[in-house]
Amino acid sequence: MKRTTTTLADGRELLYFTPDDESVPDLHDPRQLPAVHTSSQLRLDPLLDEWVMMAAHRQDRTHLPPEQDCPLCPSSNGRHTEIPAPGYSVAIFENRLPSLSMGARQPEGDLRHPLVPVRAGVGRCEVVCFTSDHHARFADLSAEQARLVVDAWADRTEELSALDGVEQVFCFENRGPEIGVTLTHPHGQIYAYPFVTPRTRRMWEVAHRYRERTGRDLHTDVIGAERSAGVRLLAETAHWVAFVPAAARWPVEVHLYPLRRVRTIPELTDAERDDFAALYLDVLRRFDRLYPTPLPYIAAWHQGPVRDEDRLGYLHLQLFSVRRAADKLKYLAGSESGMNAFVTDVLPEDVARRLREA
């Protein structure tokens, strides 16, 4: 893989990731752009001890523009986009309307609330363009292109983890308007948080108690139990396993784990990255064959936090959809949104069977 770094007109970083034998044009971004917003802030919810990101400027972000106005397509015919090149393999750039910014400063003023500390929303948000093809889906990528995306995730995880104040790096993809996607071009995002997220912190606490009680690794035992049971197993390769978790919360949910215990994407070997790319494409294509229309989904990489002295993190990808039937969506209503207590409408064993058959 070859990485080429440049800057956009407003100073944001843009990175091209290409195969070693592919050239990248060194093109200048001629646009006149306003300054990047750096007003993000964090406020601590005193009842849950969780940081909330606040970025009011994101109300103005582009929402489902027509294809001819897509900001993630290559620049061409005098139209200048976020990618100042006539084509690209994988491109990653700093978000123009970020939830977190390395330039964020301590907010002025007083909340007049002694239990809610406020701090600058320091961090970084990046946009990951998987391909220059506006009409493609991740599932349409070749194994080689998908592997290039994995390498790009690894590169960004390693570099962002080294930034001052970053505590966790989260790579993810939202697909489909049902999820709330605002741009239809195939892309994902990366957040470099200045805190450990609530879900990761909760998983760490549970894994810590399990290790203290049993002396064993919780994720390893979950994988072993699913492989042994087999009924929720979707696929297994030389280096990875994919299964529907026994206590799945979402109508369609699959977890992909490397069989070798690693904490982060950069720790994966070449063989493990190749194997993941092939397996992930297979799972995504099964998702799209489950109903007459492609499933909306969220693909969320769970990596260990930057500081994990006890090495309790276990890398895995959680892939899930809110579609519970061909014409029905799962809404997070009273129990889920109010109490964070999930009610599922389908059994994980049935979902696994249907995905195997898809």
Binding-site residue set for Zn(2+): 70, 73, 134, 185
Q: How far apart are CA 350 and CA 121, in angstroms?
A: 43
Respond yes or no: is residue 187 known to be catalytic.
yes
Binding-site residue positions:
70, 73, 134, 185
Name the catalytic one among 28, 37, 113, 187.
187
In DSSP terms, 118 is beta-bridged to 43
Ramachandran region, residue 340 (left: φ > 0; alpha: ψ -120 to 50; beta: rest):
left
Kindly compute the dihedral angle of the four CA atoms of residues 69, 74, 80, 82, in this order, to the nearest 10 degrees: 90
Q: How far apart are CA 352 and CA 26, in angstroms?
A: 47
Q: HEC string of 139-198? A: HHCCHHHHHHHHHHHHHHHHHHHCCCCCCEEEEEEEECCCCCCCCCCCEEEEEEECCCCH
Q: How far apart are CA 24 and CA 284, in angstroms?
A: 29
The catalytic residues are 187
